[in-house]
Chains A and B, each alone.
Chain A
């Protein structure tokens, strides 16, 4: 009998389903659990209160990212609460025998950078972390998603979660991206097209020419922001690019195990003819450098496209558009190009990988940050930082007037000293432009690709990087 064609989601779900719970949800086995300092202390506390132990400590890995200052590594941290949080994490991992990538270990960084770098993130696995951007790991063909703190407790105690299986939407992006159009623009375009709630109840399978051609780091940028489109996770199917990335990494299988792992990983690819609950097809040629103009990541336009006016949107959206424009202190009806920028932030789990800094430095070299702009470059991990420094990329940033920082979440969510002040407008390579997200309740965030951040830093205004850096808009055949 021929088997029904199955998607990667079907295969991973079935392999990890322990049993069906009375609620009808699945008790799902979690291969890899990642932990950081913000969403875990209460979970460890609950475990202690219940007298339970960590069931499989060898499957949990911890690092510290949200609260670490990036301008200094000197401890104790100035913020006593940050010092207490890192101290608690150190105690919790030591007491439970959990691997910990501490500050200064050479392996610390944003948790979603560290997993892939160390080869912990592998195709066909389930990965959970108390952080919504766990969707990043889907780039490897893993089912990876964010969980709350009570669920962190569940994983620690049982290595499983109670979950319902989502529907599956395939998003195909076909054709070739134009010069100056990046993975960040692809995901901002997808979210803009499907809306910030378009993915609720769905997992996204990203496919098509553009994803086939992407590097792993580009795939991570896209999967990272699945959650901004409402999808708890998204994935790209594992292929040769995935395998080449993982080969030789610290936690990747070795020797004969490697060959078996590769075969197994590829077996998780969606079967031809498998069913999708929805299919969306997007033309790569329709994607331009994209910027957000509002207070959620779906409020985005192509850089030269006018920002909507309240009177030209459907009645049900008027109040939301007016609220966003009022917060951003901009008018609808004209493009964002030319809007004054106060801060440029190149960092976050969306865009702080080596390739982001390499590409940004290519255009930054020999230029200067506009005197009015505070510009910070924050590598996502100690590994990225040292690689940049080995390649001399740090010198390009410093010579241009960027501050070159240590690894952490930094100004993406401002749980550390990196914050906007007042109503500063930030050109940001991060993932959320929510009100107050970057640390000031009146602060303003414009999301964009790293090269667009550099263009904004240099010109002092929101700019089309293709024009600033003389990149042809024509696709070279």
Chain B
């Protein structure tokens, strides 16, 4: 089990989707979950928001030529609500994004994102509104998410960001995949199971 690459800063152009409560069905429609791997999910990201049922592009920000190669996604509160499908952060990651800046995150989405090294940071409402507007205005604006300093910077302006300390440490030290540490505790796991005793006996 190799250590993962630390995620300390993410810097790049951005796409803004300024709305609250963007759910996992919108991020990745359920029909794309009919698969036994996560391959190819990046192309299906926000598919029904980007294309008509006939497959015609709707002119979604993700498809603006000037935003090609963006690595930071900016959205509103409660981003990723709904399903536990890890396909949602996998699709975002595989579409090239390495950080999501939002008002807040749904819990399961946040945990799934951290586990694959996708940095999710919160901004206060006024700061988020300011950053969103500037991203909308300027496709070339470079947004930097700095997990060490817990700040988001863009075009000389800085915003204080927030993120649970456990997730921040996990990302910056490259220990966001918890499996290795969970495996270290297997003797303790067996002790806990034994102490629970007859609670579960099949």
Q: Do A and B come from one complex?
A: yes
* Residues of A participating in the B interface, judged by any CB pair closer than 8 Å: 15-19, 21-25, 27, 29, 31-32, 38-39, 41-42, 45, 50, 55-56, 58-59, 66-67, 79, 81-82, 84-85, 88, 122, 124-125, 130-132, 134, 145-151, 153-154, 157-164, 166, 196-197, 200-201, 227, 230, 232, 251, 253, 257, 260-261, 264, 296, 319-320, 323, 413-415, 432, 434-437, 439-442
B189 close to A (CB within 8 Å): yes
Q: Which one of B84, B164, B183 lies within 8 Å of A146 (CB-CB)?
A: B84
Closest chain A CB from B51 CB (angstroms): 9
Q: Which one of B1, B31, B86, B192 lies within 8 Å of A149 (CB-CB)?
A: B86
Residues in A whose Cβ lies below 8 Å from that of B165: 24
Q: Provide the bound-state CA to CA distance between A15 and B170, in Å.
A: 25
Q: Provide the bound-state CA to CA distance between A134 and B202, in Å.
A: 20
Known: A58-B202, A260-B198, A436-B26. A230 touches B81 (CB 8 A): yes
Known: A122-B200, A164-B166. A158 touches B112 (CB 8 A): no
Q: Tell me if A18 and B185 are in contact (CB < 8 A).
A: yes
Q: Tell me if B108 and A147 are in contact (CB < 8 A).
A: yes
Q: Tell me if A59 and B82 are in contact (CB < 8 A).
A: no
Q: What are 6 sample pairs from A and B whose C-beta atoms fall under 8 A apart?
A: A59-B202, A161-B182, A230-B78, A323-B19, A436-B25, A439-B30
Q: Tell me if B23 and A296 are in contact (CB < 8 A).
A: yes
Known: A162-B178, A260-B198. 20 other contacts (CB 8 A): A16-B196, A18-B192, A23-B178, A25-B178, A29-B196, A39-B85, A81-B34, A145-B108, A147-B84, A148-B86, A148-B115, A160-B182, A197-B20, A227-B108, A323-B19, A413-B25, A413-B30, A434-B25, A435-B48, A436-B48
Closest chain B CB from A383 CB (angstroms): 19
Q: Provide the bound-state CA to CA distance between A124 and B53, in Å.
A: 47
Q: Provide the bound-state CA to CA distance between A22 and B181, in Å.
A: 9
Residues in A whose Cβ lies below 8 Å from that of B112: 148-151
Closest to B181 in A: A21
Q: Tell me if A21 and B26 are in contact (CB < 8 A).
A: no
Give the bracket for the number of chain B residues in contact with chain A.
35 or more
B29 close to A (CB within 8 Å): yes
Contact mask for chain B residues 168-185; partner A; CB cutoff 8 A; 1 contact, 0 none: 011000010111011101
Q: Which one of A58, A260, A296 lies within 8 Å of B21 (CB-CB)?
A: A296
Known: A42-B36, A81-B34, A200-B78. A158 touches B189 (CB 8 A): yes
Residues in B whose Cβ lies below 8 Å from that of A55: 186, 189
Q: Tell me if B185 and A27 are in contact (CB < 8 A).
A: yes
Closest to B196 in A: A15
Known: A18-B192, A124-B199, A148-B84. A442 touches B20 (CB 8 A): no
Q: Tell me if A38 and B193 are in contact (CB < 8 A).
A: no
B63 close to A (CB within 8 Å): no
Closest to B112 in A: A148
Q: Tell me if A153 and B179 are in contact (CB < 8 A).
A: yes
Known: A42-B37, A50-B1, A150-B115. A197 touches B85 (CB 8 A): no
Closest chain A CB from B197 CB (angstroms): 9
* Residues of B participating in the A interface, judged by any CB pair closer than 8 Å: 1, 19-21, 23, 25-26, 29-31, 33-38, 48, 53, 77-78, 81-87, 89, 104-108, 111-112, 115-116, 164-167, 169-170, 175, 177-179, 181-183, 185-186, 188-189, 191-193, 195-196, 198-202
Q: Provide the bound-state CA to CA distance between A84 and B34, in Å.
A: 9
Q: Provide the bound-state CA to CA distance between A149 and B84, in Å.
A: 8
Q: Provide the bound-state CA to CA distance between A132 and B37, in Å.
A: 20
Q: Provide the bound-state CA to CA distance between A309 and B141, in Å.
A: 36
Q: Tell me if B19 and A39 are in contact (CB < 8 A).
A: no
Closest chain A CB from B46 CB (angstroms): 11
Closest chain A CB from B183 CB (angstroms): 6
Q: Which one of A145, A164, A200, A257 lies within 8 Å of B106 (CB-CB)?
A: A200
Closest to B178 in A: A162
Closest to A437 in B: B25
Known: A415-B34, A434-B26. A160 touches B185 (CB 8 A): yes
Q: Which one of B20, B81, B166 lies within 8 Å of A320 (CB-CB)?
A: B20
Q: Which one of B115, B188, B198 lies within 8 Å of A257 (CB-CB)?
A: B198
Q: Tell me if B201 and A39 are in contact (CB < 8 A).
A: no
Q: Tell me if B84 and A150 are in contact (CB < 8 A).
A: no
Closest chain A CB from B89 CB (angstroms): 8
Residues in A whose Cβ lies below 8 Å from that of B19: 319-320, 323
Closest chain A CB from B93 CB (angstroms): 12
Residues in B whose Cβ lies below 8 Å from that of A50: 1, 179
Closest chain B CB from A287 CB (angstroms): 23
Q: Tell me if A159 and B193 are in contact (CB < 8 A).
A: yes
Q: Which one of A159, A257, A320 lies within 8 Å of B201 (CB-CB)?
A: A257
Closest to A199 in B: B107
Q: Tell me if B36 and A45 are in contact (CB < 8 A).
A: yes
Q: Tell me if A197 and B81 are in contact (CB < 8 A).
A: yes
Q: Tell me if B23 and A29 are in contact (CB < 8 A).
A: no
Q: Provide the bound-state CA to CA distance between A147 and B28, in Å.
A: 17
**Residue of A124, A161, A162, A264 with most chain B CB atoms under a 10 A cut-off:** A162
Closest chain B CB from A423 CB (angstroms): 10
Q: Provide the bound-state CA to CA distance between A391 and B40, in Å.
A: 47
Closest chain B CB from A323 CB (angstroms): 7
Q: Which 10 A-B pairs have the closest CB atoms?
A: A146-B84, A148-B112, A148-B86, A23-B166, A162-B178, A441-B48, A41-B36, A197-B78, A132-B84, A149-B86
**Residue of B37, B77, B107 with most chain A CB atoms under a 10 A cut-off:** B107
Residues in B whose Cβ lies below 8 Å from that of A442: 53
Q: Tell me if B199 and A162 are in contact (CB < 8 A).
A: no
Q: Provide the bound-state CA to CA distance between A451 and B107, in Å.
A: 32
